[in-house]
Chain A
């Protein structure tokens, strides 16, 4: 590469180049690898949970070495199971999916796809990564503090999370949880500021907003949602910390009675936390799914050789989802004791969010229509996303409807719904994205064979696993139960638990194929061509991996939208964004 016009020199020391790097590409990869590591942790926690659910009280002497308290004598204690679900949910949502999709691909893709040399504020970017690392360590470390990790669910409802004697995990574990979450919020606020500024300010010449790839659009809107809603949780978490350690009672009413003691608190209400938590918690799920849908919509044209269906409509729908997502948080609280009239308002609002979502769903399916489909591994995962979006989303119809949610709230129906959504869609999209952009990251291809094996072991198993949970939920099976042997009406369910767990083990094991493929291909993968998928977006016009500063002396200039595939009269079936109108017609 020629000397850069900008005086951005590649730092030479290993430390500055790979560890404390300010290069968005390195930071993106750092995020991804951290997410993979946390994914293993979160997945192993899930496996422990599945062991307990299928074979309650199983003796596992090996584990008692790692968790001498929670697994004393090799048998899992109920409170340890609660710690497991809490940390599984928290880690998966905040430290796996958020890190991979927003931190990882957001950082890697945004500057490359809008033609910038880096993020607006590279130092802040590095800082945001190095804030999340202690967050991860604190979360995992909380398993080893007195009382074990937080045990009040990822939703941390007080009084369970506020009164230290309410549950063992509410001892120091809960405090560590709050600190970890605070670090996460601070890190993502820094990242979000960077994303929004970069997208608004650093687009290269000709890259108007309506020429941005949909994944950048999705990341942009997701960052805006995040910036608007994370502050509420930060405020709420600070108050929870005060309630726990400094004697305030924001969330604690008078007359609480624990273990033969009357607590001195007065005046607060636990409902306050629920409102604040879900004001963040609900939009957060869209923060995660929008990038996943953006990735899907971005990959579809590459593997159908025709533009996406309804580009503009999709963007309007992203906006609509962003706005609606902030006024529907109450659908998690239909039976919490808030006013029933408010409940009905939230039901109508929640169901209106299905309207833009359906348009996006229809657009994804219609994008296949008339195309010339190709099926390398990323495309398989993309199809998986569409299927999950259908089933998981229609599950939302039952839950959003306050009347049926009376029966389904806090049952496995909810667990099934959100695993398809927040687990399935986001993970499949992340896998698709890794397989697709891997050549850009490392200049090598991942093994397509192993990737396909990974798909066929992941997609059907994931679907089977979490579809069954919907039916268990219809039968009334409550979630967050350590065991189901105490109830007669659940006796029919106990058997299916074993099947579910066996499927879950296959699913968990299959992920190691992916991990192996990833790390093996970094060093041994076949060398990639500069544009292996024949794609039109900007990142494929530079070298793989791109040099420091992304582009040579001059920034590229953009002349068309990102989906000019099969343009009539063009030389090839893919016209990159940088091709001027004189050479190939602009045919949007």
Chain B
């Protein structure tokens, strides 16, 4: 359906989808909104706590920002490979789909690996859910809960992508399935941008 049709009121009259997309995509969008709100909740809590804590640690001392930048770069590149896979799925190019899905999975795994590395480093230096050698102990709690929650999203994204890859290998994946997985993956990446900005930079 063309995009222009969406503006016409006839689309709301029933019998057709008002946004010109199938229900599964609509539902994915709605899911992303509500999942996004969980993150918004966490980030709001983080903001509240941060404003209420006087001795917030100096982040440049505890994080290696160049390493974090590399993590961010990896994740964002995986968004690009995902976009290529989606485009290929629309054209019906199964080989490219498979190749770029696998690349995306690789990117996700690399990100998870780097996060695990970062976590172990911090834990070794004494950070934990209830402690933080650089200042306010709640920093540790916020950090691990928030990045952990995001990490679990990356993990589930990787699993979904891997499943899509297998299905596309067997010729069972529809273009829409790849697209939905892609939507979710972009969402997970986008959330990271917020976490990166609010947690590491500001």
Residue A264, interface by CB 8 Å:
yes
CB atoms of A239 and B145 under 8 A apart: yes
In the bound complex, what is the Cα–Cα distance between A248 and B130 (angstroms)?
5
The segment out of B22-30, B60-68, B156-164 that lies at the interface is B22-30
Contacts of B177 in A (CB 8 A): none
Q: Tell which of B14, B37, B45 touches A203, judged by Cβ atoms closer than 8 Å.
A: B14
In angstroms, Cα B26 to Cα A205, docked, is: 19
Asked if A3 lies at the interface with its beta carbon under 8 angstroms from chain B, I say no
Q: Which of B46-54, B78-86, B92-100, B103-111 contacts A (4 or more CB under 8 A)?
A: B46-54
**Whole-angstrom CA separation of A239 from B34 in the bound complex:** 18
Q: Report how far A204 CA is from B24 CA in the complex, Å.
A: 18
Rounded to whole angstroms, the CA-CA distance of A22 and B38 in the bound complex is 28
Q: Can you name 25 A-B pairs with beta carbons within 8 Å?
A: A114-B14, A121-B23, A193-B31, A201-B19, A208-B14, A227-B37, A230-B34, A231-B37, A231-B40, A232-B38, A232-B44, A234-B41, A235-B45, A238-B149, A242-B129, A242-B141, A248-B138, A248-B145, A249-B138, A266-B136, A267-B49, A267-B137, A267-B138, A268-B49, A275-B48
The 8 Å CB contact of B38, one of A193, A201, A206, A235, is A235
Instruction: List residues of chain A with CB within 8 A of the CB of B27.
Output: 120-121, 193-194, 197
**Do A272 and B26 form a contact, CB below 8 Å, given A230-B34, A231-B37, A267-B137?**
no
- Whether A523 sits at the interface, judged by CB under 8 Å, is no
A200 at the interface (CB under 8 A from B): yes
A197 to B138, CA, bound (A): 39
- Give every chain B residue within 8 A of A276 (Cβ-Cβ): 41, 45
Contact-residue bracket for chain A: 35 or more
Q: Do B138 and A250 have beta carbons less than 8 Å apart?
A: yes
Whole-angstrom distance between the alpha carbons of A114 and B31 in the complex?
22
Contacts of B138 in A (CB 8 A): 248-250, 266-268
A187 at the B interface (CB under 8 A): no
- In the complex, how many angstroms separate the beta carbon of B160 from the nearest chain A beta carbon? 16
Binding site for B on A (CB under 8 A): 114-115, 120-121, 189, 192-194, 196-198, 200-209, 211, 227-228, 230-232, 234-236, 238-239, 242, 246-250, 264-269, 272, 275-276, 558
A267 B53 Cβ-Cβ under 8 A: yes
Chain A residues near B49 (CB-CB < 8 A): 250, 267-268, 272
Query: Which residues of A lie under 8 Å from residue B12 when comparing CB positions?
Result: 208-209
Residues on B with C-beta less than 8 A from A266 are 136-138
Contact partner of B18 (CB less than 8 A), chosen from A189, A201, A236, A249, is A201
**B171: CB under 8 A from chain A?**
no
B18 CB contacts on chain A under 8 angstroms: 200-201
Asked if A232 meets B37 with Cβ closer than 8 Å, knowing A193-B31, A200-B18, the reply is: yes
CA distance A208 to B18 in the complex (A): 10
CB-based contact A231/B26 at 8 Å = no
Are A235 and B42 interface neighbours, CB within 8 A? yes
The chain B residue sitting closest to A248, CB to CB, is: B141
> Residue A204 contacts which of B14, B137, B145 (CB distance < 8 angstroms)?
B14
Number of B residues near A (Cβ < 8 Å) is 37
Q: B198 at interface (Cβ–Cβ under 8 A)? A: no
Residues of B within 8 A of A189 (CB): 34
Q: Chain B: interface secondary structure?
A: helix
Task: Give the number of residue pairs across the A-B interface with Cβ within 8 Å.
Answer: 121
Q: Does B17 contact A (CB under 8 A)?
A: yes
Does the CB pair A201–B17 fall under 8 Å? yes
State whether the Cβ of B13 lies closer than 8 Å to any Cβ in chain A.
yes
Contacts A227-B34, A231-B40 given; does A239 touch B45 at CB 8 Å = yes
* A228, A236, A246, A275: the one within 8 Å of B37 (CB): A228
Q: Are A207 and B14 in contact, CB atoms less than 8 angstroms apart?
A: yes
Instruction: Give the most central of B14, B44, B52: most A CB within 10 Å.
Output: B14
C-alpha gap A250/B129 in the complex (Å): 10
16 further A-B pairs in the complex, CB-CB below 8 A; given A204-B15, A235-B41: A114-B14, A194-B27, A197-B26, A200-B26, A203-B14, A207-B14, A207-B15, A208-B12, A231-B35, A231-B40, A232-B38, A234-B38, A235-B38, A236-B45, A266-B136, A266-B138
Quick one: given A193-B31, A201-B18, are A248 and B45 in contact (CB under 8 Å)? no
Q: Does B193 contact A (CB under 8 A)?
A: no
B33 at the interface (CB under 8 A from A): yes
Complex: how many Å from CA A363 to CA B15?
31
User: A residues within 8 A CB of B130?
Assistant: 246-249, 264-265
Q: Which residues of B have CB within 8 Å of A264?
A: 130
Partner of A205, one of B15, B42, B136: B15
Q: Which single member of B13, B26, B52 contacts A201 (CB below 8 Å)?
A: B26
- Nearest CB in chain B: distance from A128 CB, A: 13
List residues of chain B with CB within 8 A of the CB of A272.
45, 48-49
Of B31, B137, B149, which is in contact with the most chain A CB atoms at under 10 Å from its CB? B137
9 residue pairs, one from A and one from B, having the closest CB atoms: A205-B15, A235-B41, A247-B130, A207-B14, A248-B141, A203-B14, A231-B37, A231-B38, A120-B23
Residue of A nearest to B11 (CB): A208
Query: Is the beta-carbon distance between B26 and A249 smaller than 8 angstroms?
Result: no
> Please, how many angstroms separate the alpha-carbon atoms of A197 and B24 in the complex?
8
A264 to B128, CA, bound (A): 14
Q: A204-B14, A267-B137 are in contact. Are A197 and B129 (CB under 8 A)?
A: no
A228 to chain B: which residues have CB within 8 Å?
34, 37
Closest B residue to A226 by beta carbon equals: B34
Task: Kindly identify, within residues 102 to 147 of chain B, every residue whose CB is under 8 Å from any CB belonging to chain A.
Answer: 128-130, 136-138, 141, 145
Chain B residue nearest to A272 in the complex (CB): B48
Q: Are B141 and A121 in contact (CB under 8 A)?
A: no
Contact (A205, B14) CB under 8 Å given A121-B24, A121-B27: yes
